[in-house]
Structure 1
Amino acid sequence: MATFGQCCFLIVWTIFLTTFFAKTQAYLPCDPGWLKTPNGLNCVKIFDNPTKSWYDARRACKSTGGDLVTIRDKGKSKFIKEKFVYNNNNPIWIGLCRLGVTIWRWLDEDLKVSDISG
């Protein structure tokens, strides 16, 4: 089984605008330029650089204290689509990695991947 360092099959959701990530700040206000998710637990920010690789996007996120966003439920999926979609069809990177033909893993190493198409 591949590790994240060896992850070479990456998912791109072409319906989203660009690269963004989540930074956990439980019920604290978000920094300027960030948006609070509906559950109040995360802040998300968009980075408009669609030419970055998945690894470069993740490195940029981590350098500011966050990580690529994980989308665990239809509520967060809907929020992201409403905030970041419909401007254009540039791809974005999310925190989901393909480790094998049928094996996907979130960056927090959870193997459970649900239908979040909401």
Structure 2
Amino acid sequence: MKKKNLEIQSMMRKTLKEEKTERLKFFNSVKNQIEKVDERVSQFMNTTDASLNEQIRKSESGLKEIRNEVSDIRESIDKEVSAVDKGIVDDVIAMVKKSTTDLTKFQGQLKEHLKTSDSRFGTVAQIIGACPGGKWQRYGEKCFQFYTDSRITWFEARDTCRSIGGELARIGNKRENNFIKNTIKRSYPVSYWFGLHDTQSENFWQWSSSNGTYSLGKFSNWAPDEPNNAFGNEDCSVIWGNGEWNDIDCSLKMTFICETFLF
């Protein structure tokens, strides 16, 4: 009888040892997956692409894949929790939480980078977003709508843009200027209102905004000898099909361009 008990105890120890080995294999596998996730997060966080827009586009799909991997790991852990030592489970869950925290931190850094590069506009675009419905066209972190069939004053154009949740277009760099130029060049020499004006103080050019004052900034693309306030009342700006800017009377009736940010 004693010998029989010893045999049973030996079998139980062997079984427990085998179960522990299998569990450790499982969690080593989970650990390897998490380490790969951490490595990919670090790669994203250390990216120094010269173009922020390109970095964001590349990161969109990567962030989605990493989130899916973390979710799959959590699901696997949930299925095995009842059969595994609690201490090991706590360690793995802590690693998963760290990976998730790193993802959130990385996304916040991208947003801050974008906010710094375009802070004068006062609004930060979502990294993963879309334009509203209708005739909006996406470029970078903005959406533009070109009103080619409506001719109204600058102030009427401003109010129209605000009524659809936007503003008259604010052209912040050469890339945006080229995008607009290439979109409207077929209608040249038709002029399009955009958001630049000096209605409050002569030669103090600022962007149309309902959220404060945003000055012109470093980029401009005035035509030669412009702005010149030729008739003493040229306080609003148009962009021509060749991409150059001109100041004209705000009461003239022109086509116009609205913008909004991704949501």
The verdict on a shared fold, with TM-score over 0.5 as the criterion, is yes
DSSP 3-state at the match of 1:95: strand
Alignment match, 1:68:
168
Q: 1-side partners of 2:182 and 2:190: how far apart?
A: 15
Pairs within 5 Å for 1:30-49: 30=131, 31-37=133-139, 39=140, 41-49=141-149
Trace 1:75-86 onto structure 2 (pairs within 5 A): 75-86=175-186
Q: Distance in 1 between matches of 2:218 and 2:191?
A: 21
Shift of the 112–25 alpha-carbon distance from structure 1 to 2, 3 Å rule, reads: closer
* SS of match in other structure, 2:151: coil
Shift of 1:32: 3.3
| Alignment CA distance shift 1:35-1:96 (3 Å) | same
Question: Structure 2: any 5+ residue segments left out of the alignment?
Answer: 1-123, 222-242, 244-263
Q: 1:85 to 1:106 in 2, by over 3 A?
A: same
Whether the aligned pair in 2 keeps the contact of 1:96 and 1:107 (CA below 8 Å) is yes
Runs of 4+ in 1 over 4 A off after TM superposition: none
| Cα shift readout 1:19-74 (whole Å, capped 9, x = no counterpart) | xxxxx86342222321101x2x1110111245300010011111111110100110
Task: Map 1:96-107 onto structure 2 (within 5 A).
Answer: 96-98=196-198, 99-107=200-208
In the alignment, structure 1 segments of 5+ residues that lack a partner are: 1-23
**Count of residue pairs brought into register by the alignment:** 93
Aligned-partner Cα distance in 2 for 1:49–1:112: 28
Kindly indicate whether the alpha-carbon contact (under 8 Å) linking 2:196 and 2:216 is maintained by their aligned counterparts in 1. Answer: no
Of the three residues 3, 20, 29, the one matched with 2:130 is: 29
CA distance in 2, matches of 1:87, 1:97: 23
What is the CA–CA distance in structure 2 between the aligned matches of 1:47 and 1:103, rounded to whole Å? 27
Root-mean-square deviation (CA, aligned residues, Å) is: 2.2
The question of whether the paired residues in 2 share the 8 Å contact of 1:96 and 1:105 is answered with: yes
Match of 1:93 among 187, 193, 200: 193
CA distance in 2, matches of 1:57, 1:112: 19
Name whichever structure is richer in strand by fraction.
1
Secondary structure of the equivalent of 1:62? Answer: helix
Contact 1:50 1:91 in 2 (8 A): no
Q: Taking CA–CA contacts closer than 8 Å with sequence separation of 6 or more, which of the two structures ends up with the larger relative contact order?
A: 1
Q: Give the percent of matched residue pairs that are identical in Structure 1 and Structure 2.
A: 24
Q: Which structure's CA Rg is the greater one? A: 2
What letter matches 1:101 in structure 2?
Answer: E
Determine the C-alpha separation between the residues in 2 that align with 1:61 and 1:82: 21
TM-score, normalised via structure 1 length: 0.66
**SS of structure 2 residue aligned to 1:86:** helix
